Structure 1
Amino acid sequence: MDILAAGGNAVDAAIAVAASLGVVEPYAAGIGGGGFWLIYNASENKYRFIDARETAPKAAHRDYYLKDGKPDRDRSINGPSAAAIPGQPAAFAYLSQRYGLLSLPQVLAPAIEQARTGFEVDARYQKLANFRLHHMRRYPVTAEIFLDDNQVPAVGHRIVQPELATTLELLAKQGKAGFYQGALANTLVEAVQANGGDWTLEDLANYQVVEREPIVFEYDEHTIISAPPPSSGGIALAQMLGMLDAYQQQTGTDWRQLDKVAQAHLLAEVMRRAYRDRAEFLGDPDFYQVPVDKLLSEQRAADYAASIDANKASVSLDMQGPANLHEGRHTTHLSVLDKYGNRVSATLSINLPFGSAFTVAGVVLNNEMDDFSLAPGVPNSYGLVGAEANAIAAGKRPLSSMTPTMIESCDQVAVLGAPGGSRIITQVLLGTLAHLQNEPVEQWVSQPRFHHQYLPDRIQIEPDTFNSSEINRLNTIGHEVRSVGRQYGNMQAILWDIQQGKVTAASDPRGVGAAEVLSVPQLNIR
């Protein structure tokens, strides 16, 4: 809000928020990671998608993490060997230069101040630090910054990050070159190589963000704009809604008219099919020809819809696709709308909590290399098998589920997204369906969630999503229903009702964020 009040636009504010989150949520995001930015530029009436996903170093190859023919999970998850080349610093510089109104030093100033003065540990920080405690202790620099005497800090303990403040200042003053070249780049590479990683100065210097065409499709008099590959989110979202439309045409059954259990069954079946295709066909489009037209065709939606039995669950293994992909769950999301009608939906990540657990120059490095298929055709420790489309290659970007999304109709605009690994896409689907049913924005972010990802072949639920009678009905038609034992996700959403001249926004009660509305945009999107 300070950035907007200072004359910044939605992009300036989004950069400031993302930088701040990287300071106070070191377990979820930061300049050691990457992300996807979906932007609407009101003056151009144009959507832009900024791919700031990390890239594999040039030393990486298809069998990079194989040891005696099996994936080396420790090397792909912990320490700098797990870190891909970060995209977030390049994104800040790129977005600020091309789409912002304020200078990069102005928009990074709040995060720099927060890093220097510190923030207080809360219960969420404690939980995620405890999850990664053993590995944080392996790296003295990380332990010194984020632990207290090698233990998870008490609530209220202040985390101060002066080295991160210095690194952010260098980025603010010198732009992209301040991170990817010069003294800081040397420091990063030396530390990575000294601790088992393979980064080079060339890897850093060669990193570029990529502008891609977003996935755009129509559903129920709405235009939905979402993330293209290397995200699987936009394609999966389009496929699921396309199947619902085809199912209605074939059977006359509108998902809105179904009772809770019948609707959950239908949604689980469309989720199952979209995730089956995700496992086989999705990857970095610069390395693999993703068959977008085939996946989004009316014929594929019709064929999949025809295979859904209203009274019986499908069996995923009968679909003869590869098993699904493991993906880290700890990500962050932000949504911004400014008074001009510009808007940003951005999902950012370092993968697992505290990324690789390795810190250099105040930067917690990601462990996004684990999002590749570590060994196509070979199960990892989760029993999941990846496909060739997402095999490791030098310079390649790992597949992601991050799904920043916007929805337009003749009189409304919605901006939404969420963290949550492979469950991101189904969160956005459920949020979209709530919007299509004219539910208030608070309902989009707070409704109980469920998820099916093809394999493992089960409906995953939050503890209070279904009661015992509803679970029994789902079991009766062949679904295994299993609670994940906790709530998940952290959706951030905005609804601009242009006709009524009203903006509402909501932050997921599962998280620690907040939503605030100061004014209503004056420009019509049309």
Structure 2
Amino acid sequence: MNLFSRLKGTALLLGLLLVAPGAAWADVKAPAQPASPTLVAGKPGHAAVASANFIATHAGLEVLAKGGNAFDAAVAVASTLSVVEPESSGLGGGFMAVLRRADDGKEVFVDARETAPAAVQAKDYVNPDGSPNRDTALNGPLSAGIPGAPAGLAWLAEHYGRLPLKTSLAPAIRTAREGFEPDPRLRKAIADRAQIIRRWPASAAKYLPGGQPPAEGRKWRDPDQARTLEALAEHGRDGFYRGPVAEHLVDAVRKAGGRWTLEDLAAYQVKERAPIGVDYRGYHIVTAPPPSSGGVAIAQILNMLAGFDLAHMDGVQRTHYVIEAMRRAFRDHNDYLGDPDFVKMPLDMLLSPYYAAGLSQSILPDRATPSSMLPVTSLFDPGMHTTHFSIIDKDGNMVAVTSTVNYELGSAFVAGDTGVLLNDEMDDFALVPDAPNVYGLLGSKANAPAPGKRMLSSMSPSLVLGKDRCAVIGSPGGSTIITQVLEGILAFIDGEDAAQIAAHKRFHHQFLPDKVFVEDGTFDAATAEGLKRMGYELTPRESWGFMNVVTWDLRSNRLDAASDPRRPSGLGKVQ
């Protein structure tokens, strides 16, 4: 259910109307701007933030009220999520962001993805029988890549923000010091991972006070992470990647059997890359390039679907073509994609409308195409252990950020007294070629680990730009991120509003295993039966990502923000 609440704030004038626990917009409206031939014209005059946690959303709104822009707000939201939602993201992880700057229309992809340490050794992740070692790939310091999130936050503040980094990090520092009430999802994540957490004293001390997960209704504080955030606020990226914090991180990792060095941290660099752009039904979609696989797959699917008149098809036929486009895009995902700094990829081919037209020709109109090119693999539940937030500010700046520590609570390893929970992104490499990772995705040598290399990701932060309407969209959900964002884009283009898009029922196909994973209620009985007659195996799936969407209607100059209603209520309180 959506939660409606009213907050007061002088800088936000009339206040902030909240739609769902993590979504908000300032409902002060400027006069509508006349449309121009440019893709996005005018300024909304008010701001909107949608994140997975109300405390983080409120942090973004606080920074906007202090004169910050969308990029400052992104720093506030991301750093606060590190405190209140560590099961999904944090300083010990990384993020990918698509930005659009209003004053000059600059669109850029900011890659703050983690990297492999220089001393990475593939043998650490392989059992004696040659199978993947899931324990070292998912738990403890060997599973952790060099974090990119702190450098990415400093980069956003320095290159795109208006406020000092210290100002934008202040809400996160205050929340960590003063405490907050953990929501049910965080308490459950800690309980689920308690056995692993107990392996390391610093992890147990942080997440299992008194030997148990934080109690319901009790305030929880994180003073160690507050100190690390303060070092970042005071010294910028060097506050994390050099000096005492870096020394403590490396010391803790190496004592526990990891391979990090001070040189690994000092060498980390944020990358700015050209985003992928694709046109579909009068809209321009701006999305993530490699090392995200998401944008390539979304562009391929939209290019394939452009050849079909989906609007005039019944539900069975429309879904059939969408599934088949998903199937073909994920096949290419498995074969070609990796870190662009290490791998030459045929992106011109993959993104070509002519290539997509050829793929479309292979879709049979009346039956499913079996995914028989590779042996069927087992699918692990991708879970929701990533987070996404969307922001549009009063000037029309847009930012879509997807951030992660990979699996639930990352590696479960807290690096000593830094309070930093490390990611387990090494599992996103193809540690054993053609063997599935924790999300059931296959990989080739294009995504094999190497020193300094960035592991492939499904994160798909995206902007949808049109003459009359725009959207900022993204979702967590492992391999299902790609299809969930795709379906959200299609729903927006079909005219749905932010709340409808976030609540939209979902389905997913990723080439292997050859199944369509379906949320309860997605298809009526007739549609489900029609798809089964075509040869599809429909498999129920309960867990889906918590999408966060902001839409902008340029005709009325209205912003709408919505957080996924699948997210349970009781997300924490501002005290």
Q: Structures share a fold, TM > 0.5?
A: yes
How far is the alpha carbon of 1:461 from its aligned partner? 1.1
Shifted more, 189-198 versus 500-509: the winner is 500-509
Shifted more, 326-335 versus 432-441: the winner is 326-335
RMSD (Å) for aligned C-alpha atoms:
1.9
Q: Which residue of 1 aligns with 2:331?
A: 276
Question: Residue 172 in 1 paired to residue 233 in 2?
Answer: yes
- Out of 357, 361, 365, the position equivalent to 1:302 is 357
Question: Residue 348 in 1 paired to residue 403 in 2?
Answer: yes
Q: Which residue of 1 aligns with 2:306?
A: 245
Q: Tell me the alpha carbon deviations over residues 350-396 of structure 1, each in whole angstroms, 9 at most, x when there is no partner.
A: 00111000002100000000100011134568875421111111100
How far is the alpha carbon of 1:217 from its aligned partner? 1.6
Quote the Cα distance in structure 1 between the aligned partners of 2:230 and 2:187. Answer: 28
Structure 1: which 5+ residue stretches go unaligned? 249-253, 515-526
- Per the alignment, do residues 410 and 293 of structure 1 end up closer, same or farther by CA in structure 2, a change over 3 Å counting? same
Structure 2: which amino acid aligns with 1:144? Answer: A
Structure 1 counterpart SS, 2:372: helix
Quote the Cα distance in structure 1 between the aligned partners of 2:378 and 2:275. Answer: 24
Structure 1 counterpart SS, 2:210: coil
- Per the alignment, do residues 323 and 61 of structure 1 end up closer, same or farther by CA in structure 2, a change over 3 Å counting? farther
Structure 2 counterpart SS, 1:505: strand
Structure 2 counterpart SS, 1:101: coil
Contact 1:119 1:158 in 2 (8 A): yes
Question: Residue 491 in 1 paired to residue 547 in 2?
Answer: yes
Aligned pairs (5 A) from 1:392-403: 392-403=449-460
Structure 2: which amino acid aligns with 1:365? Answer: L
Structure 1 counterpart SS, 2:536: coil
Contact 1:180 1:204 in 2 (8 A): yes
Quote the Cα distance in structure 1 between the aligned partners of 2:438 and 2:525. Answer: 32
Structure 2: which amino acid aligns with 1:488? Answer: W
- Out of 12, 15, 30, the position equivalent to 2:90 is 30
Quote the Cα distance in structure 2 between the aligned partners of 1:372 and 1:328. Answer: 18
Quote the Cα distance in structure 2 between the aligned partners of 1:122 and 1:191. Answer: 29
Contact 1:79 1:357 in 2 (8 A): yes
Structure 1 counterpart SS, 2:479: helix
Q: Which residue of 1 aligns with 2:22?
A: none
Contact 1:213 1:228 in 2 (8 A): yes
How far is the alpha carbon of 1:61 from its aligned partner? 4.2
Question: Residue 152 in 1 paired to residue 183 in 2?
Answer: no
Q: Tell me the alpha carbon deviations over residues 414-463 of structure 1, each in whole angstroms, 9 at most, x when there is no partner.
A: 11111111001111111111111111121111011110000111000112
Structure 2: which amino acid aligns with 1:197? Answer: G
Q: Tell me the alpha carbon deviations over residues 453-493 of structure 1, each in whole angstroms, 9 at most, x when there is no partner.
A: 00111000112222444333222211111011x24111111
- Out of 376, 385, 408, the position equivalent to 2:433 is 376
How far is the alpha carbon of 1:309 from its aligned partner? 1.4
Q: Which residue of 1 aligns with 2:29?
A: none
Question: Residue 448 in 1 paired to residue 505 in 2?
Answer: yes
Q: TM-score if structure 2 supplies the norm length?
A: 0.85
Structure 2: which amino acid aligns with 1:138? Answer: R
Question: Residue 428 in 1 paired to residue 478 in 2?
Answer: no
Structure 2 counterpart SS, 1:359: coil
Structure 1: which amino acid aligns with 2:358? Answer: D
How far is the alpha carbon of 1:323 from its aligned partner? 6.9
- Out of 504, 508, 514, the position equivalent to 2:560 is 504
Shifted more, 272-281 versus 114-123: the winner is 114-123
Question: Residue 57 in 1 paired to residue 117 in 2?
Answer: yes
Structure 2 counterpart SS, 1:159: coil
- Per the alignment, do residues 232 and 345 of structure 1 end up closer, same or farther by CA in structure 2, a change over 3 Å counting? same
Aligned pairs (5 A) from 1:41-120: 41-68=101-128, 69-120=130-181
Structure 2 counterpart SS, 1:397: coil
Aligned pairs (5 A) from 1:319-358: 329-358=384-413
How far is the alpha carbon of 1:63 from its aligned partner? 4.2
- Higher RCO, 1 vs 2 (CA within 8 Å, ≥6 residues apart): 2
Structure 2: which amino acid aligns with 1:143? Answer: A
- Per the alignment, do residues 421 and 381 of structure 1 end up closer, same or farther by CA in structure 2, a change over 3 Å counting? closer
Structure 2 counterpart SS, 1:67: coil
- Per the alignment, do residues 95 and 380 of structure 1 end up closer, same or farther by CA in structure 2, a change over 3 Å counting? closer
Q: TM-score if structure 1 supplies the norm length?
A: 0.93
Q: Which residue of 1 aligns with 2:56?
A: none
Shifted more, 156-165 versus 281-290: the winner is 156-165
Length, aligned pairs only: 506
Contact 1:136 1:143 in 2 (8 A): yes
Q: Tell me the alpha carbon deviations over residues 129-172 of structure 1, each in whole angstroms, 9 at most, x when there is no partner.
A: 23222111222221221124323333223221000000000000
Aligned pairs (5 A) from 1:408-423: 408-423=465-480
How far is the alpha carbon of 1:397 from its aligned partner? 0.4
Structure 1: which amino acid aligns with 2:150? Answer: P
Structure 2: which 5+ residue stretches go unaligned? 1-60, 571-575
Contact 2:376 2:514 in 1 (8 A): no
Quote the Cα distance in structure 1 between the aligned partners of 2:527 and 2:356. Answer: 28
Q: Tell me the alpha carbon deviations over residues 50-69 of structure 1, each in whole angstroms, 9 at most, x when there is no partner.
A: 10000000011444412322
- Per the alignment, do residues 322 and 172 of structure 1 end up closer, same or farther by CA in structure 2, a change over 3 Å counting? farther
